[in-house]
Amino acid sequence: MYDRKVRLFVRRVTPKSAGLRLDTYIYVSGAGVSRTQIQRAIKEGKVRVNGRVARASYRVKAGDVIEAELDYYEPPTEIIPEEGEVDIIYEDEDIIVINKPPGAVVHPAKGHFTGTIVNILYNKLLNAPGAERKRPGIVHRLDKDTSGVMVIGKSELAVRDLARQMATKEAKREYLTVVWGKVEKPGTVEAPIGRHPIYRERMAITVINAKSAITDYAPLEVFPYATLLKVSLRTGRTHQIRVHMEYIGHPVVGDPVYSGRDIGKIVKVLEGTEAPVEEVLSLIDRQALHAHRLTIRHPRTGKVMEFVAPVPEDMERLISFLRKDRSKSTSPL
């Protein structure tokens, strides 16, 4: 369906980049393809260092000449309508409110051209007689592995007004998350977020090309080695909750990017507290983060509306385990 093309990549390593892994160096040097595509090219022998095939783990040196033939695919110019199921909480002529499952991608992008929520809703709107918009109006997003409530605009009025509500924070979003360690008091994290200087798919606390970010949190249940938090956002930065929780030393349980699955870092967070870390991680294969509640003003009627997405099964399983484990540790001998 998509045209396969080859992109030639040639670079001479500068002293500033010396020491990076080969796959990381190619990625951060503007190859324009994903890390997975780079690693595939290395395995296929399409990447050479000073004329010789090299491994992904090779540490580049100043003066090395890197040559690579990188396959890539031209993204589609139009959204492709696809059949599929979406869990709709509420719908009228202006808005659709959905419960996004973990693992679902919201919008077509590099690596996910099809099978997204937008592809499915596009198909639904194309086949809906009298629909004002045929393309779903995405006014906010959730990470692929974050579950929960989202609102999508169906009319031009709704898209404009919902976007305004999101930008001005008139719309309120409340999340539930389970983090490592005890968080016994509510608090606020205020720390700027920008792209990680090396790993460009990640975000980081930084002052370089960063935007202000503010997160409020409050404990709902405190367990011996983890906490269930209610979290709300005053800003809406990419990966904001995940980055801020790691920053304050309480990474989100199961988060594969921001220390939530790194056993070495988890042990340091827990500071010697005994915890069945591997068993906990076996219960959930993503970050334990759920968009639980969304409050908006209806763009046409002006009525304040609140929508709640039930906690998904994997997070329910995790929380139930933590509750049972707590009762065991506090039960009399």
Strands (E), 60-197: 65-73, 88-91, 95-100, 137-138, 147-153, 172-180, 187-190, 193-195
Block residue for tokens 């929960």: 148
Known catalytic residue: 143? yes
Which of 79, 78, 81 lies closest to 124 in space, CA to CA?
81
**From 23, 64, 94, 143, active-site residue:** 143
For 203-229, the DSSP string reads EEE-SSS-B--EEEEEEEEE-SSEEEE
What residues form DSSP beta bridges with 5? 72
In whole angstroms, give the CA distance from residue 50 to residue 93.
61
Q: Is 29 left (phi over 0), alpha (psi -120 to 50) or beta?
A: alpha
- Report, as residue numbers or ranges, the catalytic residues: 143
